[in-house]
């Protein structure tokens, strides 16, 4: 059975993430212990809230170096994905630096209310990593988002969405992946993404 270390980052979505993993037959362990995280088959960094307090918590737990050194597949969810990038405009904070780029606020406008809350279409980008993580997810499939900040579209973008501007909805580089949307709240699409993540080669 695949063991997934869910990093205890203090996010309110941790329980639902663990339940989604259990439905897929994985055993999850909520932990802030570096050794447990390093020895797990997969690692998930969830997150709800703001970037600066979240990074402060990871530093207090002495987990920044542990996360940066991981060799197994890592998935950041929502704020957890944003923390994978170099920095965030939210609180002007340095993040984990596993993905190049800076997180910026979504621009409000006519018909565009921030935070972005609700279902949105995913547009897949061609890449080998994306083919593995997004296998079985179609061009017109939707996912559920709740966020005010987002990552730019870069070479690491596996799928994007549009809200005020186009932003990265799913990212990947090497063994490091991120989902800006909430897979645990995205019905069949979210379940498929998590199942694909569990099936990735370690």
- Residues with catalytic annotation? 78, 182, 184
Residues 6+ apart with CB under 8 A from 156: 99, 100, 101, 168, 171, 172, 173
DSSP reduced 3-state for 28: strand
Q: Between β-strands 157-163 and 123-124, what pairing exists: parallel, antiparallel or unpaired?
A: antiparallel
Q: Which two tokens stand for residue 109?
A: 């406008």
What's the rounded Cα separation, in Å, for the pair 10 and 67?
Answer: 16
Length of the chain: 202
**C-beta separation of 123 from 159 below 8 A:** yes
Task: For the chain, report the end-to-end CA distance as a whole number of angstroms.
Answer: 14
């Amino acid at each position: 059975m695949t063991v997934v270390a869910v990093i205890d980052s203090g996010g309110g979505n941790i329980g639902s993430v663990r339940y989604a993993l259990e439905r897929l037959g994985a055993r999850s362990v909520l932990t802030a212990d570096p050794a447990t995280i390093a020895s797990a088959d997969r690692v998930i960094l969830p997150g709800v809230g703001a970037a600066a307090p979240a990074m402060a918590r990871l530093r207090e737990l002495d987990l920044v170096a542990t996360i940066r050194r991981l060799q197994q597949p890592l998935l950041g969810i929502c704020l957890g994905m944003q923390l994978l990038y170099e920095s965030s405009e939210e609180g002007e904070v340095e993040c984990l630096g596993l993905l190049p780029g800076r997180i910026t606020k979504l621009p409000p406008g006519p018909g565009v209310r921030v935070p972005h809350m609700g279902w949105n279409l995913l547009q897949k980008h061609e890449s080998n990593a994306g083919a593995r993580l997004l296998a079985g997810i179609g061009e017109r499939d939707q996912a559920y988002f709740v966020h005010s900040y987002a990552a730019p579209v870069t070479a690491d973008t596996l799928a994007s969405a549009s809200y005020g501007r186009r932003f990265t909805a799913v990212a990947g580089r090497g063994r490091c992946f991120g989902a800006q949307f909430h897979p645990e709240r995205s019905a069949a699409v979210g379940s498929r993404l998590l199942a694909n993540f569990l099936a990735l080669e370690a």
